[in-house]
């Protein structure tokens, strides 16, 4: 199998892996392993996008048929068959494959948002690396983004950089960590040492407030979605534990990048220390569960 390696990670099917530089063993990516975690909120979100776009096509198809009826003297009965014949090609042209060939509208919309978030991530990395070469948003990789999307990504990246400078010193960024016992690895966006205390809601519940003191080390993952979801606490705690050190890290968090063009708000969330033990148990079992779900990927 041909493997394309991006910053140390490569994919086999939908699952990502890293090769352990010390042993050569194949370690599953933490973000791929977390795909086994149910995400019912995504089903509802995808359903809404698909319903809205299908309704738009249905209305447009009906209007097209009405115009044809008004502009022709030929007999053109409005039946289920004629309506379906008008609607199906429109759904296909609009990117909806739902019941037709197994693809859906929401893929197109979410892929565009993911690309914008990736652009913001790469601008942060480019800045922290010394700004060598062109701004990533000006390269061919992001040429498909609109000017408004690029402006949003740039603004989000600059906000993140301002937050980092104000609150912390950078220990490492885009750093790959390996957990050989759990047979997983992952690349953390930022490892920070706080220069001032920070207080923010817990990832699992906005009602719980968590404070991390000045001087503490904090792995931080940058997020670009509409929210920071529950499984993120497993992801960032994994980074903290795999990074190691003495004393070990006992803090972890995520920073959601705002997008000016869609009204997003900046947001910091932290792992609740009271959940550290239960998260550790979940992580201990996560790799085995992922291997069970994707058995064909076990052997290298």
The terminus-to-terminus CA distance of the chain in angstroms comes to 10
Domain count along the chain: 2
**Does residue 27 sit in the same domain as residue 66?**
no
Positive or negative: CA dihedral 260, 171, 240, 21 = positive
Calpha distance 283→280 (Å, rounded): 5
Report, as an integer, the average pLDDT of 257-273. 75
**Does residue 55 sit in the same domain as residue 11?**
no
pLDDT number for residue 193: 95
Interval 108-158: pLDDT, tens? 554 445 567 888 889 999 999 898 899 999 999 888 888 888 888 898 888
**Does residue 83 sit in the same domain as residue 179?**
no
Query: pLDDT averaged over the chain?
Result: 80
258 found inside a domain: yes
Domain of residue 22 covers 5-37+157-297
Task: Name 178's bridge partners.
Answer: 185
**Does residue 69 sit in the same domain as residue 33?**
no
Which domain-ending residue is among 70, 96, 122? Answer: 96
For residue 296, name the pLDDT band (cuts at 50, 70, 90).
Answer: low
**Does residue 86 sit in the same domain as residue 205?**
no
Cβ-in-10-Å burial (0-12, 13-18, 19+) of 107 comes to: middle
**Does residue 199 sit in the same domain as residue 224?**
yes
pTM: 0.74
200 found inside a domain: yes
Interval 153-182: pLDDT, tens? 898 888 889 999 999 999 999 999 999 999
**Going by C-beta distance under 8 Å and a sequence separation of 6 or more, which residues neighbour residue 48?**
none
């Amino acid at each position: 199998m041909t493997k394309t390696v991006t910053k140390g990670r490569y994919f086999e099917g939908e699952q990502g892996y890293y090769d352990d530089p010390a042993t050569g063993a194949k370690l599953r990516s933490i973000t791929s392993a977390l795909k086994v975690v149910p995400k019912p909120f995504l089903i509802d979100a995808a359903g809404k996008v698909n319903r809205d776009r299908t309704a738009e096509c249905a209305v447009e198809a009906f209007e097209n048929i009405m115009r044809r009826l008004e502009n022709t003297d030929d007999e053109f009965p409005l039946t289920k068959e004629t309506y379906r014949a008008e609607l199906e090609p429109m759904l296909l042209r609009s990117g909806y494959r739902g019941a037709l060939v197994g693809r859906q509208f929401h893929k197109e919309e979410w892929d565009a948002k993911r690309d914008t978030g990736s652009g913001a991530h790469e601008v942060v990395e480019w800045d922290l690396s010394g700004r060598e070469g062109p701004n990533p948003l000006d390269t061919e990789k992001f040429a498909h983004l609109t000017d408004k999307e690029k402006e949003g990504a740039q603004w989000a990246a600059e906000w993140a950089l301002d937050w980092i400078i104000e609150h912390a010193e950078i220990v490492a960024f885009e750093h790959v960590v390996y957990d050989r016992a759990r047979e997983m690895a992952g690349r953390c966006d930022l490892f920070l040492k706080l220069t001032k205390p920070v207080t923010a809601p817990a990832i699992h519940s906005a009602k719980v407030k968590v404070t991390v003191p000045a001087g503490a080390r904090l792995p931080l993952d940058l997020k670009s979605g509409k929210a920071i979801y529950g499984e993120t606490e497993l992801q960032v705690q994994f980074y903290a534990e795999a990074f190691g050190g003495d004393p070990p890290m006992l803090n972890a968090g995520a920073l959601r990048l705002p997008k000016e063009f869609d009204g997003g708000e900046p947001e910091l969330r932290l792992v609740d220390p009271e959940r550290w033990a239960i998260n550790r148990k979940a992580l201990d079992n996560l790799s085995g569960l992922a291997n069970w779900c994707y058995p064909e990927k076990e052997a290298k």
